[in-house]
Amino acid sequence: MLEIQNLYKNHGNQAVIQGLNLVIKSGEVYGLLGPNGSGKTTTINLICNLLKADEGTITINHRHPRYLNKKLLGVVPQENLLYKSLSCQDNLDFYADIYGLNKQRKQRQVKQCLEAVNLLDQAKSKVETLSGGMQRRLNIAVALVHQPKLLILDEPTTGLDIESRYEIWNLILELSQQGMTILLTTHLLDEAERLCNRIGIIKTGKIIAEGSLEELRQLVPAKEIVFLKVKEEKEARQVIEQLGWRYRYYGQQIAILLPQVLELREVLNYFDGLSIESISRQFVSLENVYLEVMNQSYNCYE
């Protein structure tokens, strides 16, 4: 569906995209993760032909975005593009007209999109009267009104409360089950874990890690992670090193990368005599992967 090869883009003297390669298959949800300034939004603008690449190629369905039928692509930017003094239906009518939908298809699509985002009962309500979550759902409906094949969601749940976030997540999953191809950028790692078939981590304008969640977990040299907070930190590190285990610092806790799954009681026995303030365990998460591949950028390593 989407293929990017050897993409480069500079803003003045600053290199923003540096040799980006990315392939998104038809029907998958692909998550693009990275810190602010890593090139996510610039990549979206290049895909949408709002910026011109210095080098490299972008193709959607084997065609350059410049020559692409605009109906193939739907975009939900970070900021809602809605006319707040108009009703939900009027907003969708307006965008349907922009995409050239005839009267019969427009009526059908507007109703279907309002149903899809659970706003049919708010069709006549002005946008300014809606909650933030409702407005975000309507913004997604706007991007769907012309039935695109590729949907780009740029941080769709940022700033929403947890209930609204779950509503958006359910909508994305429903769209995925219907076969829509989705590119999702997000800072919420649990969001990417729940929604994405594959995940790419971008740093300084290029993908530094990519794969399914299970494939990405292999980048962390551990079967399980134990978080330890202890007063005798130096002594604890000595025990860990003697056992041949690796560790990281996540905040004020030592994160021990266990090469095999152990009972918590077994782990505690190794630190017998030390004043343990807290100890917990978890399987390798996307957060651990993210911090691992970002390396020294987050000051969480030994």
Confidence of residue 72 (pLDDT cuts 50, 70, 90): confident
8-state DSSP, 261: -
H-type alpha helices, the chain: 40-47, 88-98, 103-116, 132-144, 162-177, 189-195, 213-217, 233-242, 264-270, 286-294
Q: What percent of the chain has pLDDT over 90?
A: 53
The pLDDT-based confidence of 300 (bands split at 50, 70, 90) is very low
What is the per-residue pLDDT across 210-250, written as a single tens digit (0 to 9) for each?
A: 999 999 999 988 999 999 998 998 999 999 999 999 998 88
Mean pLDDT of 120-137: 92
What average pLDDT does this structure show over 191-200? Answer: 95
Q: What was the pLDDT predicted at 65?
A: 67
Domain with CATH 3.30.70 in the chain: 224-283
Over residues 135-180, the pLDDT tens digits come to 999 999 999 999 888 999 999 888 888 888 898 899 899 889 988 9
Average pLDDT, the chain: 89
User: How many CB atoms lie under 10 A from the CB of residue 78?
Assistant: 13
The percentage of residues in the chain with a pLDDT greater than 70, rounded to a whole number, is: 95
Q: In the structure, what pLDDT confidence band is assigned to residue 199 with cuts at 50, 70 and 90?
A: very high
Rounded CA-CA distance 135/80 in Å is: 7
The confidence score (pLDDT) of residue 50 equals: 87
Mean local confidence (pLDDT), 269-292? 90
Greater confidence (242 vs 298) lies with 242
* Model pTM score: 0.86
CATH number assigned to the domain covering 224-283 = 3.30.70
For residue range 9-52, list pLDDT tens digits in order.
Answer: 998 888 889 999 999 999 999 999 998 888 899 999 999 888 88
Hey, CA dihedral for 184, 188, 193, 199, is it positive or negative?
Answer: positive
Looking at residue 298, its pLDDT comes to 38
Q: Report which residue type is found at 182.
A: I
Fold exhibited by the domain 2-217: Rossmann fold (3.40.50)
CATH 3.40.50.300 maps onto the chain at 2-217
> What is residue 36's predicted lDDT score, i.e. its pLDDT?
86
